[in-house]
């Protein structure tokens, strides 16, 4: 595994501040020093660094411009940027440069450590959420499943996906599609948190794919309410003509016209009520399988996997047919 890199942008080749150097050593970061902003951007675009520290003590103009350039790019903009200044006189200018943190000569080692530690934690948290919905992403979903398994909880992992969403995007626009995704995210969050409270978790895999995790006992109540609310709101995302008809004509991949129904939501549910899971990937695989089965059924539905673990047999042949054991709602 590659060692995480910290980039020190030092246009005047000053010695690294002692407190900063000590913190970098404790983080086991590989430090690369550059003095040219083109070299900085090439390095950041090639392999996104853990953070960039701009030594602005003698040349705040160069650091200001380089920091703004780093933050302006969508790929490098999430890299934590620290401006190190000589005095409080440069403080406002430093924050105006889009820096995430500002430190200066005279800060104690304790303060430097605390500020930089918090900066990295905040950066990690921001990366783990989906930018459009601000819901936790794949890493946090897997971590949450792992936490619940470690606590030996009885839980349900529910995979929600929209039906006919691509056709909706093709007929309307990606802007309208993004609005629908945010609506679904809001429904999932409000229902899950409203029913399960702090025992509920909602994550966003990407696109129109979501995972929510709830106690097993709440599956029917939560899923039924999600389906009901979505079916009530979905028609109003269409034009009045399409809404009244209940469908519209779209083209398939061969360019042939076919009737497209209004969007519905399919939810595949997997629980550890009758199964023993050892890692999150097992749960993810089964939830995807159940979601795929749910999408073969008409309308908005949720399907619950009622299968048992096969005794002393983990082979593929020991798995029973999904349609024969799923409970559809």
CATH of the domain at 29: 3.40.50.2300
Co-location of 305 and 255 in the same domain: yes
95 confidence band (pLDDT: 50, 70, 90): confident
Co-location of 52 and 197 in the same domain: no
Last residue of a domain, one of 75, 105, 127: 127
Q: ∠ CA(42), CA(73), CA(28), 5° rounding?
A: 55
- Rounded to a whole number of angstroms, the distance between the first and last alpha carbons of the chain is 46
pLDDT digits (tens, 9 = 90+) for 54-83: 999 999 999 999 999 999 987 888 899 999
Q: ∠ CA(183), CA(189), CA(192), 5° rounding?
A: 135
pLDDT digits (tens, 9 = 90+) for 267-296: 999 999 999 999 999 999 999 999 999 999
Is 21 part of any domain?
yes
CATH of the domain at 182: 3.30.70.270
Q: For position 313, what pLDDT does the model report?
A: 45
The share of the chain scoring above pLDDT 70, in percent, equals 93
- With a cut of 80, say whether residue 189 has pLDDT above it: yes
- With a cut of 90, say whether residue 3 has pLDDT above it: no
Last residue of a domain, one of 96, 127, 158: 127
Who has greater pLDDT, 312 or 146?
A: 146
Co-location of 176 and 293 in the same domain: yes
Q: For position 316, what pLDDT does the model report?
A: 39
Co-location of 27 and 99 in the same domain: yes
Co-location of 174 and 123 in the same domain: no
Establish how many alpha carbons lie within 13 A of residue 173's alpha carbon, considering only the half-sphere containing its beta carbon: 4
329 confidence band (pLDDT: 50, 70, 90): low
Q: What would the two tokens of residue 155 be?
A: 């839980």
pTM, to two decimals: 0.74
- With a cut of 90, say whether residue 326 has pLDDT above it: no
Tell me the average pLDDT across 93-99: 90
Number of compact structural domains in the chain? 2
Co-location of 178 and 301 in the same domain: yes
């Amino acid at each position: 595994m590659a060692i995480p890199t910290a980039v020190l942008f030092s246009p005047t080749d000053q010695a690294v501040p002692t407190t900063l150097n000590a913190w970098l050593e404790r983080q086991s970061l590989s430090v690369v020093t550059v003095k040219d902003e083109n070299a900085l951007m090439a390095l950041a675009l090639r392999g996104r660094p853990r953070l960039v520290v701009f030594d602005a003590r003698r040349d705040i103009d160069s650091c200001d411009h380089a920091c703004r350039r780093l933050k302006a790019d969508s790929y490098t903009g999430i890299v934590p940027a620290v401006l190190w200044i000589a005095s409080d006189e440069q403080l406002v200018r430093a924050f105006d440069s889009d820096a995430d943190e500002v430190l200066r000569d005279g800060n104690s080692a304790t303060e430097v450590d605390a500020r930089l530690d918090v900066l990295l934690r905040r950066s990690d948290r921001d990366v783990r959420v989906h930018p459009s919905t601000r819901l936790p992403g794949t890493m946090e979903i897997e971590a949450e499943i792992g936490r619940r398994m470690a606590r030996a909880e009885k839980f349900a992992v529910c995979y929600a996906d929209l039906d006919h969403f691509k056709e909706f995007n093709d007929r309307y626009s990606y802007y309208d599609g993004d609005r629908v995704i945010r609506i679904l995210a809001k429904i999932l969050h409000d229902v899950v948190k409203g029913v399960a409270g702090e025992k509920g978790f909602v994550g966003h895999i990407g696109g129109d794919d979501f995972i929510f995790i709830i106690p097993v006992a709440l599956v029917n109540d939560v899923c039924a309410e999600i389906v009901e609310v979505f079916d009530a709101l979905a028609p109003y995302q269409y034009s009045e003509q399409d809404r009244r008809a209940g469908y519209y004509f779209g083209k398939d991949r061969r360019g042939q016209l076919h009737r497209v129904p209004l969007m519905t939501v399919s939810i595949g549910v997997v629980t550890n009520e009758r199964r023993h899971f050892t890692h999150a990937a097992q749960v993810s695989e089964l939830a995807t399988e159940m979601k795929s089965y749910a999408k073969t059924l008409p309308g908005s539905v949720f399907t619950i996997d009622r299968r048992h673990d096969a005794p002393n047999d983990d082979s593929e042949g020991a798995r029973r047919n999904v349609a024969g054991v799923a409970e559809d709602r």
